[in-house]
């Protein structure tokens, strides 16, 4: 399975990573690479928990478009 992951600079330090298709699946790390590794582990644990609870695993059905808007 593939999920879109968004990685943002933290307010004070480090990076926050989340998967929009998986509500509440969030992780962090001191670097982008660490945040990416950590969110991968978080996604795996999230999916395992859903399966263990007999809940459906969300499929990513939207491909986001990122753009910059000048205002």
Residue-number span of the structural domain to which 45 is assigned: 6-52
HEC sequence for 7-58: EEECCCCCEEEECCCCCCCEEEECCHHHHHHHHHHHHHHHHHHHHHCCCCCC
* pLDDT tens by residue, the chain, 71 residues: 899 999 999 999 999 999 999 999 999 999 999 999 999 999 999 999 999 999 999 998 877 788 899 99
Q: What is the pTM of this model?
A: 0.85
Residue 38 domain-assigned? yes
User: How many independent structural domains does the chain possess?
Assistant: 1
Q: Is 36 a domain residue?
A: yes
């Amino acid at each position: 399975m593939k999920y879109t992951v968004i990685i943002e600079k933290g307010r004070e330090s480090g990076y926050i990573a989340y998967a929009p298709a998986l509500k509440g699946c969030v992780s962090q790390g001191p670097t982008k690479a660490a945040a990416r590794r950590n969110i991968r582990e978080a996604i795996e644990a999230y999916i395992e928990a859903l399966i263990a609870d007999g809940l459906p695993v969300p499929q990513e059905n939207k491909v986001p478009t990122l753009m910059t808007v000048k205002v």
